Amino acid sequence: MLNLRSGKATEEDYGKLRQEMAGLSGGDSPLPPGVQKLLTELSTTVGKDASPEDKDQRQVVEDFRDELQGLLNRLVPVLKPDEVALHKAWLELSAKSCELNKYELAMKVLQDAWHQAKAIEAEKREPAVVLHIDSPLRPVVDRALEEVGKVAAQLDELDADLAVQFALLASMTHKAMKAGEYGVALGLASQWFTSAEEAVAAQGRQRMVPLRQRIEDEVYIPNAELKKLEAPLASVPHSDKWFNESSVSKAEWDGVLQGVVQDGKTVQAAVTQARQACEQERLRWGQEKQGATVLLTRLKLVVSDAAGADEDKRFQSADASDIATQGLRKLGDGCTAWQTLAAEWERAAQASEAARDAFAQSEEDTKKKLLAVTREAPADRAPLDLLLAAGQQLAAGRDWVAAGAKLEECRRTADEKIKAQRDGVKLSVGTHCEAAYLEDLLDKLGAAEVKKLSTALGPKVLGEMSLQFKVGEMEQLQKEAGDGKGLKALLDDVAGGKAADLQSLRASFGSLAPLQAVAKDGFGGKTKTLGTLLKTGFAGDSGKLKTFLDGYPNPDPDLLKANNPAALKAQKDQENLKNLLNTGGLNDNPEAFAHLVNTGCAGDPAKLKDLHAKFSATTPPGLAGMKALLDTANLKTPPERLADILKTGCSSSAENLKELAIGFDGKMGQLKEATGQWGDGSGAAIKGLTDARHLNGDFQALQKNFTATLNQRYPGSGGKADREFMIRVAPEFTRAVLPDDINATLADKFELDPADAGSFKDSDWNHLLMHVCERHLPSSFAFEGAKAASTPINVHNSQFPVDWTPQRIATLMKEALKSANGKQTLLGLEDRARKAEEYAKHVEWAARTIAHDCWQARVDYRAWWNGGGRQRWIYDKKMEKGEVWNGPVPPDPGPAPPWPGQGFDNPGPEPAQPGAEPPNTPEPPWITPTFWYGDVEFQLGVDYRNGKRQIVQYFPVQSVGTPAITAFPRYDMEAMRDATIK
């Protein structure tokens, strides 16, 4: 310790001051701009006076002090009392140094203070309510330091040596306070005070009132005043018992207090232990400000009693430890206060425990009430949660009374909200439902759920439901249907809005759950389609509906997880049904679907499964084909039409309906036109046109042969009338198949000599004769039901008179061909026949060329593959994958020939060589010139078929003077034949 009464301070003293102050600082932290430079300059002038006119240095110091003060202001919430006092002393010392132009000393002090403040800032402490309960000597030391400051302020001048000594004493005093050695700190402060008085006296000033008396006059409060502070203690909130929760037990605490009375030597240890116990309690219950404040006040009063009872000499001794011991002996008089405090705290803890238990019960009751609010009035829950949170926050602060009141308010408000919600439901539904039933329903479901149910169904319908279902059943209905909306959908769409029908439906299915499930997974959520199926498809018979839906069972989720085949199939069936309804367009046409199930599939789920299998997404025409039948071909209007076509026209075969959709794919307008003409007879018309005597079961040919031919013969809007007429009469058209052996029965056969037939000598004369007789000879007429315009075609208006025979016609036709006109016409067709032959031969050559080229490509590729290509290909693939190849690198067999496709390993025998290419003649146009023989006009047509030139068309066109013949529209007959006969 420095002797303040000695002479000049040395450099060692400065170093010691720096060391002492550095021990209190937080290390090196960044200094404000410009300060480091100034410190470097001042380091060379320590102990030297600066010029009073050096305003620049003074301004820098003051700016630095302002920045330090700002930093400390920001740190106030996290600073400890010792740290606050130390920084306050440093700021005052720097200010005093500036007044005496000791800028270098001021800057060194501020630098250490800055480093410590930055270190505290770096710790990122959490702000806390600081209720520092220190040693009883703490307020005495604080007051002593304040008096020292006042004495030092009396000095007119403080030279550098004295300033250093004073700073060193200040540093050591604050360091002792920080370590909790308040006895040592009080001794140092007393020395500091004495030295300051001596310095004042040296300047001719009067000595001041002794330090002890100055403290005693201001701090001392008589013991009688303690009684006034006992009343607030009874209301101090506390969360648990002091002695049970504290690190110091009641017995240990009493022992400490007893030791204070019996042995003055243990006073310091006892006070330290008491302070530690108080500090631990503060950290545990930091919110108990009132109790801690009362305790601190009582500690100060005890200290004031101890401090005021001794002589001045106790504050003038150089032995700080002895002074502390003597000053603390008087604490024995304050033991009663400590014991009283402990007892009061014990009683307060007991009352607090009861209050805490009461709050816990209140909190539990409130949470139960809020669960009821969730059930009854969920929209009102949020503000009530805020009330509960507010009560819990108050409880965290141990304000049990206010917390309980907040929870009581929460429960009261909850009761009001529940009552308001239930009253609102009663007001809405009460006129349609018996009061007792409604009350039970509210108790069972809760007001919120009943309100949803009433909103979904409507109050009136809910009243009707109450007549059919018991309260318990209503709850079950909700669960089975999913919610009120689901129940509403089943009631309206499936049960027709009738509660009695819903009851019957539930009885048939045993529960609404399977119905709701199949509506969701099989019908795509379209309960309207399900209801239409019941009403239209099964005439309202819920038993039949159940039988049908049993074919689409709801798969068990557990079995699905286990990949059970039956469960997976059930899931796939429902998925296919949903796709048929949604993507296939039947959900948009529920009436059409109902008829399709009942009529088209005869109510058999297996037939419907076959249908949606044929129109699945993976096979043509797909679900788009079904939608096109409904929308583009308009088979949804009327809704029975598609079912009629499936049942009658397609013989209930899903395969036939699929073929029909494939045939009209992209041509659905033609099917729409045809069914528009046939109307309700569409199914019968399609059946007739596809029977064995017509299109022979080829449903695709209904477009390719029938509608395509008619659209070709009677195209566009100009041919619409004739086309529609032909469509209407086509189903009535039948043809009796005549054998080709008519010619064989004749004495004079229809057959030309090779000289007369020329290059057409290979014509099928038997077929040509039969062809003419079946259309133009009454005795051999093969067509019934056909019409030409409005005139039926039959034996009464055929081409030749009734008495004509096949022999007469054969003779007439042979003579006509042998006539000059016939030969000339046939000769004129030679060029057309030659071109047709050349065209056919070139087509044949091209086919042979392609076949031979394909064979050659397979042969070439096989040779490359077997000649090293396979091994090289395997090697290249391994290299691409980065795999290891064992063995030598296979030689490169050269580039691979073009890939010929599968089968290169077995190309088969070499096909015939195509030979030289014949002339590439375009296909010639079809020509059918006419010629006259007598009174009859004939028409000829030739072609190259089956490797031969043939006469392929030979018809009488008209006969002079025969009205029936001239009026007969032969072209209609040809169109009918081509359209309906395959």
Residue of 948, 667, 661 lying closest to 833 (CA atoms) = 948
pLDDT of residue 13: 46
Q: Which residues contact 183 (CB under 8 A, 6 or more apart)?
A: 137, 268, 320, 321, 323, 324, 325, 327, 328
What is the tens place of the pLDDT at every residue in 294-325?
Answer: 444 444 443 333 333 333 333 332 333 333 33
- Would you tell me how many other CB atoms lie within 10 Å of the CB of residue 22? 15
Q: Which residues contact 70 (CB under 8 A, 6 or more apart)?
A: none
The pTM is what?
Answer: 0.49
Taking the C-alpha atoms of residue 602 and residue 607, their distance in angstroms, rounded to an integer, is: 8
pLDDT interval class at 594 (50, 70, 90): very high
- Chain-centroid distance of CA 871 in Å reads 52
Tokens 């604080």 correspond to what residue?
A: 142
b/e string for 284-318 if b means 16 or more Cβ within 10 A? Answer: ebeebeebbebbbebbbbbbbbbbbebeeebbbee
Taking the C-alpha atoms of residue 612 and residue 589, their distance in angstroms, rounded to an integer, is: 16
What is the tens place of the pLDDT at every residue in 617-652?
Answer: 677 888 999 999 999 999 999 999 999 999 999 999
DSSP string, 819-833: SHHHHHHHHHTHHHH
Residue of 737, 938, 977 lying closest to 825 (CA atoms) = 938
3-state SS assignment for residue 916: coil
Q: What is the rounded average pLDDT of the residues 22-38?
A: 42
Q: Which residues contact 857 (CB under 8 A, 6 or more apart)?
A: 897, 898, 900, 904
pLDDT of residue 973: 57
Taking the C-alpha atoms of residue 662 and residue 525, their distance in angstroms, rounded to an integer, is: 29
pLDDT interval class at 232 (50, 70, 90): very low
Q: Is 270 a residue whose pLDDT tops 70?
A: no
Residue type, 830: E
For the beta sheet containing 930-933, the strands, ordered from the edge strand earlier in sequence to the opposite edge, are 930-933, 936-945, 948-959
Cα three-residue angle 287-293-296, rounded to 5 degrees: 125
What is the tens place of the pLDDT at every residue in 363-375?
Answer: 999 999 899 888 8
Decide if 979 contacts 783 (C-beta within 8 A). Answer: no
Q: Higher model confidence: residue 212 or residue 894?
A: 894
Tokens 């008495």 correspond to what residue?
A: 803
Q: Is 9 a residue whose pLDDT tops 60?
A: no
Half-sphere exposure for 889 (CA within 13 Å, toward CB): 6
- Chain-centroid distance of CA 515 in Å reads 28
Q: Which token pair is 879?
A: 């290299």
Q: Higher model confidence: residue 476 or residue 205?
A: 476
Q: Which residues contact 686 (CB under 8 A, 6 or more apart)?
A: 645, 648, 649, 650, 660, 699, 702
- Would you tell me how many other CB atoms lie within 10 Å of the CB of residue 269? 13
Decide if 770 contacts 738 (C-beta within 8 A). Answer: yes
Taking the C-alpha atoms of residue 521 and residue 552, their distance in angstroms, rounded to an integer, is: 10
Q: Which token pair is 667?
A: 């041509």
Q: Which token pair is 355?
A: 């209050």
Q: Is 905 a residue whose pLDDT tops 60?
A: yes
DSSP 882: T
C-beta contacts of 884-893 below 8 A and 24+ residues apart: 892/868, 893/864, 893/867, 893/868, 893/869
Cα three-residue angle 768-772-777, rounded to 5 degrees: 150
Tokens 């070499």 correspond to what residue?
A: 910
Cα torsion 562, 565, 570, 573: sign: positive
Residue of 374, 283, 298, 300 lying closest to 336 (CA atoms) = 298
pLDDT of residue 293: 44
Q: What are phi and psi of 607, to 5 degrees?
A: -70, -35
Residue type, 458: G
Taking the C-alpha atoms of residue 845 and residue 914, their distance in angstroms, rounded to an integer, is: 6
Q: What is the rounded average pLDDT of the residues 77-85?
A: 68
Residue type, 144: A
- Chain-centroid distance of CA 147 in Å reads 73
pLDDT of residue 646: 95
Q: Is 185 a residue whose pLDDT tops 80?
A: no
Decide if 26 contacts 48 (C-beta within 8 A). Answer: no
Burial class (CB in 10 A: 0-12, 13-18, 19+), 276: middle
Taking the C-alpha atoms of residue 206 and residue 204, their distance in angstroms, rounded to an integer, is: 7
pLDDT of residue 308: 39
Residue type, 436: A
Q: How high does pLDDT run on average in the chain? A: 74
Q: Which residues contact 823 (CB under 8 A, 6 or more apart)?
A: 756, 817
Decide if 858 contacts 903 (C-beta within 8 A). Answer: yes
Residue of 517, 142, 505, 484 lying closest to 304 (CA atoms) = 142
Q: Is 445 a residue whose pLDDT tops 50?
A: yes
Q: What is the rounded average pLDDT of the residues 412-429?
A: 90
Tokens 């800028």 correspond to what residue?
A: 103
pLDDT interval class at 795 (50, 70, 90): low
pLDDT interval class at 90 (50, 70, 90): confident
Q: Strands 948-959 and 936-945: what pairing?
A: antiparallel
Q: What is the rounded average pLDDT of the residues 608-613?
A: 91
Taking the C-alpha atoms of residue 560 and residue 790, their distance in angstroms, rounded to an integer, is: 65
* Lowest-pLDDT range of 636-645, 723-732, 959-968: 959-968
Cα three-residue angle 403-408-409, rounded to 5 degrees: 100
In Å, the largest CA–CA distance within the chain is: 178
Taking the C-alpha atoms of residue 725 and residue 677, their distance in angstroms, rounded to an integer, is: 8
- Chain-centroid distance of CA 281 in Å reads 51
DSSP string, 412-470: HHHHHHHHHHHHHHHHHHTTTS-HHHHHHHHHHH-HHHHHHHHHHH-HHHHHHHHHHS-
Task: Point out which residues pair with 950 in neighbouring strands.
Answer: 943
Q: What percent of the chain has pLDDT over 70?
A: 67
pLDDT of residue 650: 94
Q: Is 909 a residue whose pLDDT tops 80?
A: yes
Q: Higher model confidence: residue 2 or residue 483?
A: 483
Taking the C-alpha atoms of residue 444 and residue 474, their distance in angstroms, rounded to an integer, is: 9
Taking the C-alpha atoms of residue 210 and residue 190, their distance in angstroms, rounded to an integer, is: 10
3-state SS assignment for residue 754: helix
Taking the C-alpha atoms of residue 818 and residue 331, their distance in angstroms, rounded to an integer, is: 160
DSSP string, 885-912: --SPPPPP--SPPPP--TTTT---SPPP
